[in-house]
Amino acid sequence: MFELFNPRRPNRTPLATTPNRWDWALLPLVLAVFAAVAFGAMQMSRPFTVGQETPISLDPINLPYYLLRTMLRMFTALGCSLLFSFVFAAIAAKYRAAEKVMIPLLDILQSVPILGFQALAIAPFIALFPGNLLGVECAAIFAIFTSQAWNMAFSLYQSMRTVPPELNEAARVFQLSGWLRFWRLELPFAMPGLLWNMMMSMSGGWFFLVAAEAISVAGQDIKLPGIGAYIAVAIEAENGVAIAWAIGAMLAGIVLYDQLFFRPLLAWADKFRFEESQGETAQHSWLLDWVRRSHWMRVLTGRFWSMLRRALGWFSARPDGMTPQPRSRPFDTWWPRAWDALILLAALLGAYRLVVFVHSDVGWGEAAHVMGLGFITLVRVLLLIALASVVWVPIAVWIGLRPQYSQRVQAVAQFLAAFPVNLMFPLVVFLLVTFKLNPNIWLSPLLVFGTQWYILFNVVAGASTIPNELRLAADNLGLKGWLKWKRVYLPAVFPSFVTGAITASGGSWNASIVAEYVTWGKTTLVADGLGSYIKQMTDAGDFHRIALGIGVMCIFVMLLNRFFWRKLYSLAEDRSR
């Protein structure tokens, strides 16, 4: 069951080459996808010079083209995020010395606002592709990547650290190498949760799409054709009708990639569920059914998996199960201490250089003020994450235990998670100005609007992997009500909840740059907080104060993770063993 690539498995691809009706049904769809990708890729590498105007039309007839460009950027970023997650999670989970550096680094990376990455990346990418739009496209893809990768990497890392003991013991009995262990055990075990987090990452890309496609850093105002740039222009023009068209286009895009990409993947990944009995709880996909009935697609996919198994086999040892495998000697006692000292020295050196850079233009009084702004944002994040947990954990468990319902709410949940908070600016500005509400209070819900779904998606993934035997045992013991939640459901989803809460917390800090600084036309509402400070300094191109704001945000996130979330994560690891 937990086997993804088996080099010794014979190829059972059917030899039939005559097309059937399913081949003819799939052919127009496949050709349309290839043609759209080729056309969009060609448009992404057009000539471009810095300062050249890139007009964005609000005519809704252009929305299909803008949607195509946006989808290409998001899926390119998703592919890069998946490769990054494989490498990052595997190294961090297997090597204790690397884990000491990589997990705190992940905390820092997920807390750096997308504008911070963009301010540093836009110039190098443009210089890498001079005279070509591809440089700006790479900068936009990189910005979307920073809103997707950290969540997926942490999800895979958490799953690899919580593989059940009996499966670990089986891997040791069969003497699997580290390479085979990853592909045959750890990745298949992590697959359901990873797929749900991929959906959440795609939604996170939509959430920050305006910042990624409407680039405004240090006087540079570049708008790439896409839904995000369309929304930015509509906000500037105070065009509510264009906002409505953008919402419709975004919904159409989410339904498309849900049906053509994520739904087939979720149905395929049912083979990696921990329990054997699936029955009526299995996911279903009309596209996957068509592919399985198609002669040509079965031949092509069979050859693809066969080539992939052979390629992966080149890098793996094949123990015979009888010969004892050599074990590496443990490190000397001085090595861990030397490594810790080296990490501490590097951290102190980096902190020193950051302080010197910031202090060259910023006084200590302003730095203390920014620390106070960080504390205000911290209070908002903790309160809103707590409220979101109380609301969404019970709902997510209910959905995860009933996959037949999860398929129905899947696209709806993706749409809500992807809904950019910028699209709510007209309503928010109208309500706050009309009723003279305090922005410091009433802008706060925007902070968690797009990040609360990390909790929902992760808990749904965790609840969907609860073995049927455990649920039947709880029913036989007569567990009901709160006792059943306390003894069965909450402990089972606790590791997934912690993963979702950590990523939701980091995402909320990132979202503060959008939630604490709201603009609609000529009206601007500003809430006191670290996010609004970074947003204003980014628009002004003040890199010293951008570095100060990002540095303070990283400090708050790291302290919160170290002394709160990591304690919960360690408890989740202990309970899973």
The encoded tokens of residue 398 equal 């209910």
pLDDT at 3: 45
Q: What is the pLDDT of residue 7?
A: 44
CA distance 456 to 463: 10
The pLDDT, as a whole number, for residue 324 is 47
Q: In the prediction, which pLDDT does 77 show?
A: 94
Residue whose C-alpha is closest to residue 367's, from 547, 136, 570:
547
Chain centroid to CA 370: how far? 28
Instruction: For CA atoms 110, 112, 116, 121, give the dihedral sign.
Output: negative
Q: What CA–CA distance (Å, rounded) separates 407 from 301?
A: 25
Element containing residue 220 per DSSP (H, E): strand 220-223
- Whose CA is closest to 156, among 261, 84, 258, 80? 84
Q: Which residues of the chain have pLDDT under 50?
A: 1-15, 218, 276-281, 320-328, 331
Whole-number pLDDT of residue 227: 92
pLDDT of residue 314: 60
Write down the pLDDT at residue 411: 66
What's the pLDDT at 332?
A: 53
Radius of gyration of the chain (CA): 25
In degrees and rounded to multiples of 5, residue 220 shows phi and psi of -85, 120
Q: What pLDDT is attached to residue 529?
A: 92
Burial of 577 (0-12, 13-18, 19+ CB in 10 A): exposed
Residue 139 contacts residue 121 (beta carbons within 8 Å): yes
Name the residue among 327, 356, 139 with its Cα closest to residue 226: 139
Given a contact cutoff of 8 angstroms between Cβ atoms, the answer to whether 104 and 97 are in contact is: no
**Helix 149-161 and helix 187-207: axis angle, to 10°?**
160
For the chain, the distance separating the N- and C-terminal CA atoms, rounded to the nearest angstrom, is: 21
pLDDT of residue 278: 47
Residue with the two structure tokens 């999800």: 155
The answer for 434, left when phi > 0, alpha when psi is -120 to 50, beta otherwise, is alpha
Among candidate residues 485, 465, 464, the one with its CA nearest the CA of residue 474: 485
Q: How far apart are CA 287 and CA 304, in angstroms?
A: 18
CA atoms within 13 A on the CB side of 554: 20
Measured CA distances, 22 to 5, 6, 29, 290 (Å)? 27, 28, 11, 6
d(CA 230, CA 226): 6
Sequence length of the chain is: 577
pLDDT at 11: 47
**Over the stretch 362-393, which tens digit does the pLDDT of each residue have?**
889 999 999 999 999 999 999 999 999 999 99
Identify whether the C-beta of residue 429 lies closer than 8 Å to the C-beta of residue 462.
no
The C-alpha atoms of residue 168 and residue 35 are separated, in whole angstroms, by: 45
Give the pTM: 0.76
